[in-house]
Structure 1
Amino acid sequence: MSKDTTIASAPAPQKPTGQKPKGWRLFKLALQTRKSATMLGFGFSSGLPYALLIGTLNAWLGEVKIDLATIGVLSWIGLSYSFKFLWSPLVDRLALPGLERLGRRKSWIALCQGVLVLSFLGLAATDPARAIGTFALFAFLGALASATQDVAIDAWRIDVADEQTSVELLSSIYQFGYRIASIVGGALALVMAGRMSWPLVYVLMAGLIALIAVVTLRAPDTPRAEQGALHATLGQLGELAPRARGLALLVVGVSWAWAIGTIVAFMVRMLQPLAPGEKHPSVAAFTRETGPLIVLATVAVPLLVSAAINALKARRVAVLAAPDPAHGPLRTALNHLYVALVAPLAELVGRLRWGVLIVIGMILTYTLCYNMWASFAFPFYLEFLHYSKDEVAFASKLFGIFMTIAGISLGGFLFVRLGRMPTILIGAVLPILGNFVYADLAEGAPLIDRVGHAVGLHALFGAFGFDDRMVRLLLAISFENISTGIAGAAFVAYMSGIVSRSHTAVQYALLSSLTFLIGSLGRGIAGEAFDLYGYATVFRYAAAAGGLAVVFVLLEWLRVGRGAAASHAT
C-alpha cells in the first residue's frame, strides 16, 4: 500500500455537500481514513500547545506569585503565532537534513513536535519563581515550535486533500481536534493541577504530544513540488525587476527584524535576574516610547514600500522589459520572502489606495479591547477573585466554549440578516461593554447581581445548583465569550472578504498577524497597570481603547458605502 492510499478496510467518506458534518458524525468520519484520522491528531497537536502556553501557563505563574507585569511581558511569546508568516517560506522550501526522508511536511511537523516535548519537559524541570528567565526561554521555544508546526500542518491539509477527503472536511476535522485540545490543555489541565503539581501536569502533556508524534510518523505526505509557477509570476513582463524587488524586501525585512529583535531584547532584560538594588525596566515606558516605533516598522514602512512599488510599476520604472524566468537557490528564497512580506500588502495598497489606511487602522484596533487582557484571565479568576481551579475550568473552558460557539453562530446569523458592516459594528461595541462587565465583577459584581436577579438568570442557574458567587462568574464569561464570538465571526468574514483572490492565504496571514500586534504589545503595559491601578480601573481604560475600533469601523462603513455608490453610478 502506498503512503497516499487509505486504509482498505475503512469506507471512504463522501465529499461533503450541503451542511458540514458536526459532533459525533464528524468524529466518525475522522476515523475512517488515514488522512482524516491524522488530521484529527494534527488538530489536537496544534491546539494543545496554544492552550498550555498562552492560557494555562499564566495560571501556574499566578499561583507562584509572579507579578502581572512579568506575566504580561511573557505573554509576548504569543507573537510567534502572529509572525509565523515571516518564516513560512522557509518551512515551505527547506528540506531538513536527516528528516526529509519522513516527508515534505511530516519532517517539519515531527521536528516541531520533538521540540514541543522538550520545551514542556523544560518547563516542568524549571521553577518559575526562581528562574523566570529560563522558564520564559522554554516557553518561547515551545511557542516558536507550535507556530511553525501550524504552518506545516496548514500546508499538509491543503496538500493531501482529494475528492474523497476534501480540504473542507479536513478543515472541519482539524477544528474538532483543536477544540478537544483546548479543553484538555485548559479545563483538564486546571483540574489536574488542583490534584497534582504543575510540573507533573506539563510532563503528562508532553507525553500526549509524544503520542501524536507516533501518528505523524504514519501520516501520508506529498512530494516536494516545483517552484516554477512562483518564478513565472514574478518574471512576467512589467513586474518589478529582481534588483528592485531585493531592495524593497531588504527595507521591509530589516524593519521587521528590528521590531522583533527589539521586542525579544526587552523580554530578555525584563526576565533576567536582577543584581542587588536593580529594578526591571518599565513595561509602560517601553510601550509608550518604543511601541509606536514598532508599529511604524511593521506597518508604516511596509505600506510606504508598497506604495513606492505600485508607483514604479505604474510609471514602468525598474520593471522587467522582457520575461525573466531565471532562478537559482538564492532567487528562490528571495522570491518566497517577497511574496510573503511585500507582494500581499502592495496588492492591497494598489487596490484600496488611501482607503488602506482605514482598513489597516481597523485591523490594528478591532481586537484590542479584548486581546489585551486575555493573558491575565486565569490570574484574575484564581488569584484575585479566589475561584478554585475546578470552578474556573468549568466556567472558562467548558461552559465558556459553548458560549463562544453560541457567539460565533449568532455572529453568522447577524451577518446574513443585518449585513457585513452592521454586524462588524456590533462586534466592535459588545466587547467594550464586556470590559465594563468585568470591571463590575472585579468590584464585587453589584450590577451583575442586580441585572441577573431582575431577569431571572440567578434563579435559572440556581436551579442547576450554582450559588450566587458562581453565577456571577458564569454570567460575566457568558457575556464576554458571546461578545468575542460575534466579533470574531464578523471580523473573520470581513478579513476573508477584503483579501485578494490572487494572494488569499499569504495576504490573510499577514493581515491577521497585524490584528494581534497592538493587543499583544498592550499586554505588557496592561500587566503593569493591573499591578498599579487594579483590575477594575484597567478594564475601564481598555473599554475606552475599544472606542478606537468603533471609529475605524464607522469610517470603513462610510468608505464601503461610497465605493458601492460610485460603482452603481457607473
Structure 2
Amino acid sequence: MNTIAQFFRVFQSRKMAALLSLGFASGLPYALTDDAFRAWLTSAKFDLSTIGWLGLVSLPYSLKFLWSPFIDRFVPPFLGRRRGWILLTQGGLVLAILAIALQMFTIDSLPLASRNEALPVLAVTALVLAFLSATQDIAIDAYRTDVLKVQEVGAGIGIWVMGYRIALLFAGFVGFNLATRLSWKSSLSQFLSSNGFTSLSLSRFGWAWVYVLLAVVMSLGLIATFIAPEPPEANARPATLDEAVVKPFQEFFQRLGGGKVLLILIFTIFYRFSDAMVGKMAVPFLKTIFDDGTIGTVRQGIGLVATIVGTLAGGAILSKIGVNRSLWVFGFLQAISNIGYYAIAVAGKNDLVLLAAINVENFCSGLGTAGFLGFLMVLCNPSFSATQFALLSSLFAVGRDILASPFSGESAQFIQRNLPSWTAINQLSWLTGSDGKGWALFFLFTLVLAIPGMILLPFFAPWNGEFKKVDSLPLD
C-alpha cells in the first residue's frame, strides 16, 4: 500500500506536469506520420501495399542512435543540455507539418491517375518530419531518464506515456472527426468552388486542413519546454565526440555482457511486434467498415479513457511488482488484446464490438508501453542516457516501422489476393471475416508474431529476478 501511495504522491510535482506536456509534444508528430498519415493515404485511394511501404518514412526512429551522440556531447547556448535541443526540434517540427499539409493540398487536387507521381516529394517531406521528431525524442527520452529519481520512475513513465497517448488519440480524434465534418460541407464546398475558391474546398482537402490545425497545436509544445525543469548536471557529459560515440556502447556491453546484450537487442525489436502489426493496418481495416467519424470517436476519443487508465495502471503495477514481472504480464495482455480486432473482422459493422475491442486494445497497449519504457530506462547509464536510450528505442522502432510497416501491408494484401484460391479457408467466415477479405485471418496471424519476444524473457528478465536502475558511472 505504501508503494502505491508513494506512486501517486509524486504526481504533485512540477516535474510531472512537464513530463505530461513533453509526452504530448513527442506523440503528436509521430501520429502525423502514423495513423493520420495512413488515413489520408487511404482516403486518397492509394492501395494497401503503397500505404505499407510508405510506413518507411518512419525510418529515422530506427536510426536515431546514429546521431544521438551529438545530443549527448553538444549543448545549445540556451535552456541547457536537454531542453535546448527540444526547443530547436520543436520549431522545425511546426514547419515540417505545415509543409506536409501543403503537399496534401497538391495531391488532393490531382486526378487519381497522377497522384503516384507526386508521392516522392511527400515522402521526403514526411521523412524530414520523422527525422525532427526522432531527434526531439532523443532529447526528451534523455531528459526523462536524467530527471527522474528511482522512486519516481513508475509514475514518471505513467505520466509521460499518458501525454504521448493523449497526443496520438487527440490527433486521431480531431483528425478523423474534423475530416468527416469537412466532407459533410459539400454545399459550402460547391459555393467556394463556384466562386473561384477551388483551392479552399473543404470536402476535397479535409485532411490537409487537419494538418494545418495540428501544426498550430504543436507550436504550443514550446511552452512545455520552457516550464520543464532542467536536470542537474550531476552526470558528467562526454568530453569529446569520440567519447560520446564509443563510450556508451562500450559501457553497455561491459556492464551486461555480450550474450545478454544480444538477447536484449533482439527482444527490443520483437516484444511489441505483434502490437505494431495490428497498429499499422488498424485504420485501413476499420475504414472498410466504419466512417471516419465513428473511428475517430471510438478509437481516438472514447478509447482515450482506457489509454489513460492503462498507462497509470501500468506505472502503478510497475512500481509494485517490478520491471521483470511487468514485462511478462503486460506482454501477454498486449498480445491477447489483438483478438479484439479479430472480433471486429468477424462481427462486421457492430458498434458495441468496436467499442469493446478498442477499449481493451488501448488499455493493454498502455500497460505494455509503460512496462517496456521502464525496462529501457533501467538499462541506461545517466551519463550516456541520450545515446543508450536512443539505441534501444531505435531497435524497437525497427520492429514497429521497418519490419511491421511493409510486412503488415504485404501480409494483408497477400491474404486478400490469394484468399479466393484457398478453398479450404474461403468458406469459413471465422477466418475470412464478415466481408470475406481475410481480415480475420490476418489478425489471428498477428497473435503468432507475439511469441518470439515472449520466449526471450526467461534469459534476461526471469520472473523472480529484477533489474536495478543504473547510477552514473565514471567516464574514465
Tell me if both proteins adopt one fold, taking TM over 0.5 as the criterion. Answer: yes
Aligned ranges for residues 91-490 of structure 1 at < 5 Å? 91-94=71-74, 100=77, 108-127=85-104, 128=107, 130=115, 131-154=118-141, 177-196=163-182, 197-213=206-222, 215=223, 230-231=238-239, 332-340=240-248, 342-348=249-255, 351-382=256-287, 384-385=288-289, 387-411=290-314, 421=324, 423-444=326-347, 469-490=350-371
What is the alpha-carbon distance in structure 2 between the residues aligned to residue 228 and residue 557 of structure 1? Answer: 29
**Equivalent residue, structure 1, for 2:391:** 510
What is the alpha-carbon distance in structure 2 between the residues aligned to residue 393 and residue 64 of structure 1? Answer: 18
**Equivalent residue, structure 1, for 2:406:** 524
Q: Which one of 65, 69, 82 corresponds to residue 45 of structure 2?
A: 65
**Equivalent residue, structure 2, for 1:543:** 447
Q: 1:378-417: CA deviations, max 9, x gaps?
A: 22212x22x1222212221232232233334555566577
Specify whether residues 41 and 437 from structure 1 end up closer, same or farther in structure 2 by C-alpha distance, changes over 3 A only: closer
What is the alpha-carbon distance in structure 1 between the residues aligned to residue 374 and residue 336 of structure 2? Answer: 22
Structure 1 residue 79 displacement after superposition: 3.5
Q: Helix, strand or coil for the counterpart of 2:103? A: coil
Contact 2:142 / 2:389 at 8 angstroms: preserved in 1? Answer: no
Which structure's CA Rg is the greater one? 1
What is the alpha-carbon distance in structure 1 between the residues aligned to residue 36 and residue 29 of structure 2? Answer: 10
What is the alpha-carbon distance in structure 2 between the residues aligned to residue 402 and residue 95 of structure 1? Answer: 38
Specify whether residues 109 and 484 from structure 1 end up closer, same or farther in structure 2 by C-alpha distance, changes over 3 A only: closer
Q: Helix, strand or coil for the counterpart of 2:238? A: helix
Contact 2:169 / 2:299 at 8 angstroms: preserved in 1? Answer: no
What is the alpha-carbon distance in structure 1 between the residues aligned to residue 140 and residue 286 of structure 2? Answer: 33
Residue identity opposite 2:51 in structure 1: I
What is the alpha-carbon distance in structure 2 between the residues aligned to residue 168 and residue 426 of structure 1? Answer: 16
Specify whether residues 344 and 535 from structure 1 end up closer, same or farther in structure 2 by C-alpha distance, changes over 3 A only: farther
Contact 2:52 / 2:410 at 8 angstroms: preserved in 1? Answer: yes
**Equivalent residue, structure 1, for 2:34:** 54
What is the alpha-carbon distance in structure 2 between the residues aligned to residue 491 and residue 103 of structure 1? Answer: 28
Structure 1 residue 38 displacement after superposition: 6.9
What is the alpha-carbon distance in structure 2 between the residues aligned to residue 36 and residue 78 of structure 1? Answer: 28
Deviates more, 1:47-56 or 1:433-442: 433-442
Identity of aligned residues (%): 31
Residue identity opposite 2:180 in structure 1: G
Contact 2:68 / 2:387 at 8 angstroms: preserved in 1? Answer: no
What is the alpha-carbon distance in structure 2 between the residues aligned to residue 430 and residue 176 of structure 1? Answer: 18
What is the alpha-carbon distance in structure 1 between the residues aligned to residue 385 and residue 58 of structure 2? Answer: 23
Q: How many residues in Structure 1 have an aligned counterpart in Structure 2? A: 405
Residue identity opposite 1:140 in structure 2: L
Q: 1:506-537: CA deviations, max 9, x gaps?
A: 43432232223233213202102212214322
What is the alpha-carbon distance in structure 2 between the residues aligned to residue 83 and residue 485 of structure 1? Answer: 24
Specify whether residues 139 and 537 from structure 1 end up closer, same or farther in structure 2 by C-alpha distance, changes over 3 A only: same
What is the alpha-carbon distance in structure 2 between the residues aligned to residue 516 and residue 136 of structure 1? Answer: 18
Q: Helix, strand or coil for the counterpart of 1:53? A: coil
Is 2:456 the partner of 1:552? yes
Deviates more, 1:169-178 or 1:502-511: 169-178
Q: 1:84-136: CA deviations, max 9, x gaps?
A: 2331222344467xxx4687656544432332222222211224562121111
- Relative CO higher for 1 or 2, CA cutoff 8 Å, sep ≥ 6? 2
Contact 1:194 / 1:390 at 8 angstroms: preserved in 2? Answer: yes
What is the alpha-carbon distance in structure 2 between the residues aligned to residue 444 and residue 434 of structure 1? Answer: 16
Stretches of structure 1 lacking an aligned partner (at least 5 in a row)? 1-15, 232-331, 446-467, 564-570
Specify whether residues 560 and 516 from structure 1 end up closer, same or farther in structure 2 by C-alpha distance, changes over 3 A only: farther
Specify whether residues 102 and 187 from structure 1 end up closer, same or farther in structure 2 by C-alpha distance, changes over 3 A only: same
Specify whether residues 378 and 101 from structure 1 end up closer, same or farther in structure 2 by C-alpha distance, changes over 3 A only: same
**Equivalent residue, structure 2, for 1:252:** none
Specify whether residues 372 and 113 from structure 1 end up closer, same or farther in structure 2 by C-alpha distance, changes over 3 A only: same
Structure 1 residue 187 displacement after superposition: 1.0
Specify whether residues 366 and 104 from structure 1 end up closer, same or farther in structure 2 by C-alpha distance, changes over 3 A only: closer
Structure 1 residue 162 displacement after superposition: 11
Deviates more, 1:142-151 or 1:550-559: 550-559
Deviates more, 1:429-438 or 1:169-178: 169-178
Specify whether residues 230 and 473 from structure 1 end up closer, same or farther in structure 2 by C-alpha distance, changes over 3 A only: same
**Equivalent residue, structure 2, for 1:259:** none
What is the alpha-carbon distance in structure 2 between the residues aligned to residue 375 and residue 67 of structure 1? Answer: 14
Stretches of structure 2 lacking an aligned partner (at least 5 in a row)? 183-205, 416-437, 468-476
Alignment root-mean-square deviation, CA = 4.1
Specify whether residues 339 and 71 from structure 1 end up closer, same or farther in structure 2 by C-alpha distance, changes over 3 A only: farther
Structure 1 residue 369 displacement after superposition: 1.0
Structure 1 residue 367 displacement after superposition: 0.9
What is the alpha-carbon distance in structure 2 between the residues aligned to residue 555 and residue 227 of structure 1? Answer: 31
What is the alpha-carbon distance in structure 2 between the residues aligned to residue 361 and residue 177 of structure 1? Answer: 28
What is the alpha-carbon distance in structure 2 between the residues aligned to residue 188 and residue 73 of structure 1? Answer: 25
Specify whether residues 506 and 559 from structure 1 end up closer, same or farther in structure 2 by C-alpha distance, changes over 3 A only: farther
Residue identity opposite 1:390 in structure 2: G
What is the alpha-carbon distance in structure 2 between the residues aligned to residue 557 and residue 394 of structure 1? Answer: 38
Specify whether residues 61 and 94 from structure 1 end up closer, same or farther in structure 2 by C-alpha distance, changes over 3 A only: same
Specify whether residues 229 and 78 from structure 1 end up closer, same or farther in structure 2 by C-alpha distance, changes over 3 A only: closer
Deviates more, 1:59-68 or 1:35-44: 35-44
What is the alpha-carbon distance in structure 2 between the residues aligned to residue 174 and residue 438 of structure 1? Answer: 27
Q: 1:335-359: CA deviations, max 9, x gaps?
A: 111134x2244225xx345344433
